[in-house]
A = this chain, B = another copy of it.
Amino acid sequence: MADEVKLHGFRGSPFGCRVEIALNLKGIEYEFIQEDLNDKSADLIKYNPVHKKIPVLVHNGKPISESLVIVEYIDDAWKGVPILPRDAHEKARARFWAKFIDDKCIPAVFKALGSHGQEQAVAEAQEQLQFLENELKGNKYFGGDNINLVDISATYLAYWLGAAEEALEIKVLTKDKFPKLTEWCENFVNCQTVKDTLLPREILVAFYKKRFGKA
Binding site for B on A (CB under 8 A): 50, 59, 62, 64-66, 69-70, 72-73, 76-77, 88-89, 91-93, 95-96, 99-100, 104, 131
Contacts and interface: CB of A to CB of B under 8 A. Distances in A.
A96 B131 contact: no
Copies of this chain in its oligomeric complex: 2
B95 A69 contact: yes
A89 B77 CA distance: 8
Contact of A99 (B69, B89, B96): B69
Interface of A: prevailing SS: helix
Contacts of A73: 88-89, 91-92
A98 to B, nearest CB: 9
Contacts of A100: 50
B88 A76 contact: yes
A88 B104 CA distance: 28
Nearest to A97: B50
Contacts of A77: 88-89
Contact of A89 (B64, B65, B91, B93): B64
Nearest to A134: B49
3 closest residue pairs by CB, A with B: A76-B88, A73-B92, A77-B88
Contacts of A99: 66, 69
Contacts of A76: 88, 91-92
B50 A69 contact: no
Given A50-B100, A62-B89, A65-B96, 8 more contacts: A59-B89, A64-B92, A64-B96, A66-B96, A66-B99, A73-B88, A73-B89, A77-B89
A70 B50 contact: no
A88 B77 CA distance: 6
Contacts of A95: 66, 69, 72
A59 B88 CA distance: 11
A75 to B, nearest CB: 9
A180 B126 CA distance: 45
In this complex, the member of A62, A72, A77, A89 whose beta carbon has the largest number of chain B beta carbons within 10 angstroms is A89
